[in-house]
């Protein structure tokens, strides 16, 4: 009787152990997939990207622009920055990269307008990472243009230059254009990649996977047909 009970306990223990091992393998596999950005099988509309409604027609010779919709206030955008900065260095000929700051609140609007002010002054490179670090590492808040101006003073520009650029018609127009693009593409979270103002990349599989999807979509747009005949229809 004792021997039979022992065998039953052993079988039960082995069954439980086997189940735990299977679950562990699945969890590790998913974690590896997410961190490495793997995208199993075909990249298809609806799963890996969505199509923008009524995208603008691309003119012959125009580059394919990959927009990263982002905000300095977004911690995920800060984490994505090193990856996307490396990735954009290897874009194929005929494709370019641009950032498009989003406006989800008045404070984010100040940050978006600051982005274009710094860009117009040639001071963006000197302050781009600094702004991310100040907000997310040091807990600094930028509630007014003056607060941003104080922060960038002496880093590629001066406070007075920054404030003049911030209020300029050129910078205001660039900020309005960014907000218009944001509405047209229906951006509701950041970071988000949009390829050719036509494809919105699904960021859920992971940041590296999103870049792989973007590479695929760039390839589609660089083909003579410029369409994904097999997968473009959701």
pLDDT surpasses 90 at 81: yes
Kindly give the pairing relationship between strand 64-70 and strand 95-101: parallel
pLDDT surpasses 50 at 32: no
Three-class SS state of 227: coil
pLDDT surpasses 90 at 224: no
- Rounded to 5 degrees, φ, ψ at 58 are -80, 130
- Rounded to 5 degrees, φ, ψ at 61 are 90, -15
Amino acid 17: pLDDT: 52
- Describe the crossing of helices 106-120 and 169-185 by its angle, rounded to 10 degrees: 130
Amino acid 61: pLDDT: 84
Greater pLDDT, 214 or 225? 214
Confidence label for 7 from pLDDT (cuts 50, 70 and 90): low
pLDDT surpasses 70 at 11: no
- Give 147-179 pLDDT, tens digit per residue: 999 999 999 999 999 999 999 999 999 999 999
Three-class SS state of 187: coil
**Residues near 18 by Cβ (< 8 Å), separated by ≥ 6?**
none
Confidence label for 40 from pLDDT (cuts 50, 70 and 90): very low
b/e code 35-49 from CB counts within 10 Å (16+ = b): eebebeeebebebbb
Amino acid 1: pLDDT: 47
- Give 194-219 pLDDT, tens digit per residue: 999 999 999 999 999 999 999 999 99
Confidence label for 89 from pLDDT (cuts 50, 70 and 90): very high
Distances in whole angstroms, Cα of residue 214 to Cα of each of 4, 36, 79, 210, 211: 60, 15, 18, 6, 5
pTM score of the predicted model: 0.79
The arithmetic mean of pLDDT across residues 20-26, rounded, is 40
**Residues near 226 by Cβ (< 8 Å), separated by ≥ 6?**
58, 220
């Amino acid at each position: 009787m004792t021997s039979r009970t022992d065998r039953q306990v052993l079988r039960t223990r082995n069954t439980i152990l086997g189940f735990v091992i299977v679950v562990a393998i699945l969890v590790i596999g998913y974690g590896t997939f997410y961190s490495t950005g793997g995208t199993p099988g075909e990249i298809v509309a609806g799963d890996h990207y969505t199509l923008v409604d009524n995208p603008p027609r691309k003119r012959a010779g125009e580059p394919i622009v990959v927009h990263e919709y982002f905000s300095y206030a977004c911690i995920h955008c800060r984490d994505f920055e090193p990856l996307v900065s490396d990735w954009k260095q290897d874009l194929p000929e005929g494709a370019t990269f641009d950032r498009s700051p989003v406006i989800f609140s008045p404070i984010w609007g100040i940050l978006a307008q600051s982005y274009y002010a710094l860009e117009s002054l040639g001071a963006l490179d000197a302050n781009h990472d600094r702004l991310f670090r100040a907000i997310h590492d040091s807990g600094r808040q930028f509630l007014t243009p003056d607060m941003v101006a104080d922060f960038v003073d002496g880093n590629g520009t001066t406070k007075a230059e920054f404030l003049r650029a911030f209020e300029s018609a050129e910078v205001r127009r660039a900020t309005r254009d960014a907000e218009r693009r944001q509405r047209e593409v229906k951006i509701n979270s950041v970071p988000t990649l949009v390829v050719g103002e036509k494809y919105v990349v699904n960021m859920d599989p992971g940041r590296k996977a999103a870049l792989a999807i973007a590479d695929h979509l760039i390839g589609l747009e660089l083909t003579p047909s410029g369409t994904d005949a097999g997968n473009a229809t959701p």
